[in-house]
Amino acid sequence: MIQTRDAIARARALLGTPYAQLDCINLIKKVIRDCPGGEADYTTAGTNALWDSYGASAKYRDLVWRQEGTAGARAGMLAFKRSGTDVHHVGLVTEAGTVVHASSAAGETVETALDGTWDLLAAHRYIEVAAEENSCPTGWAVVETQRDPLRVRTWPETGEVLGSIPKGAMVEVLEDTGDGWPRIRHGGLEGYASGAYLRQMDGEVEADRAAHTTLEDEKGQRLTLQGAWRVIETTDGTEKEETVCGTE
């Protein structure tokens, strides 16, 4: 899989390329063909075919996730424009909240704002999507597989396997859209896993046990923080604001 930063860097290296030499779909093809982790022979028929590939069989499914609208856009996603049923334009979302795309109107590859002219978002199977910053758990669950550990993937169902979590481990549920593949975190491993092997933890006792952090100062005094908390000043006196999630 192509790292987010590599995909964006390659796309930005093509800024200013005349549209006659590189249109929007060929920009995406070139990023995938040129970057480490991509596919040198990758091809797709066009923007409509790329968007529609989400409904294809696993072998031909280039998009592993897609949505209407652009809410929640993250670096590494693809943004699309649509007129009626015609999905006619595509670009790569960056960490700056912009889109690198080959514009026929501008006559070249440009980087512009991800504004209201963009209609759709998707994740490509070859391009990593950046993790959501400061994501805190919405719930907790326990892994309940039969024997094998629970596999964690880059995207639901067909995503690349990032690692696995042993039976009985407690995980943070970061997002659950109801599709059977919640986004979870266990230690440094974050991704999507089958909800069929996760038992949601309910009740205040379990939640309290799962989401707390205890701090101790040099005098041995302790302070227990529950849930999400915010650091606004560091020990060296510098100001820093950072959301931290309580963990067991």
Which has more pLDDT, 225 or 52? 52
Report the pLDDT value the prediction gives residue 207, as an integer from 0 to 100.
44
pLDDT at 1 over 90: no
| Fold designation for 4-124 | endopeptidase fold (from Nostoc punctiforme) (3.90.1720)
Report the pLDDT value the prediction gives residue 232, as an integer from 0 to 100.
47
Query: Which residues, in sequence order, are CB contacts of 65 under 8 Å at separation 6+?
Result: 54, 122, 123, 155, 156
Report the pLDDT value the prediction gives residue 31, as an integer from 0 to 100.
97
pLDDT at 3 over 90: yes
To the nearest whole percent, how much of the chain has pLDDT over 90? 54
Interatomic CA distance for residues 162 and 239, integer angstroms: 35
pLDDT at 74 over 80: yes
Report the pLDDT value the prediction gives residue 158, as an integer from 0 to 100.
76
Report the pLDDT value the prediction gives residue 72, as an integer from 0 to 100.
87
Which has more pLDDT, 101 or 189? 101
Chain region(s) in the chain for CATH 2.30.30.40 = 139-204
Which has more pLDDT, 162 or 20? 20
Report the pLDDT value the prediction gives residue 59, as an integer from 0 to 100.
78
The mean pLDDT of 168-194, rounded to a whole number, is 87
pLDDT at 194 over 90: yes
What is the reported pTM? 0.64
Which has more pLDDT, 211 or 84? 84
Report the pLDDT value the prediction gives residue 205, as an integer from 0 to 100.
36
Chain region(s) in the chain for CATH 3.90.1720.10 = 4-124
- pLDDT per position as a tens digit, 105-128: 999 999 999 999 999 999 999 999
The mean pLDDT of 138-143, rounded to a whole number, is 87
| Fold designation for 139-204 | SH3 type barrels. (2.30.30)
The mean pLDDT of 1-20, rounded to a whole number, is 95
- pLDDT per position as a tens digit, 205-246: 344 444 555 555 666 665 555 555 555 445 555 554 444 454
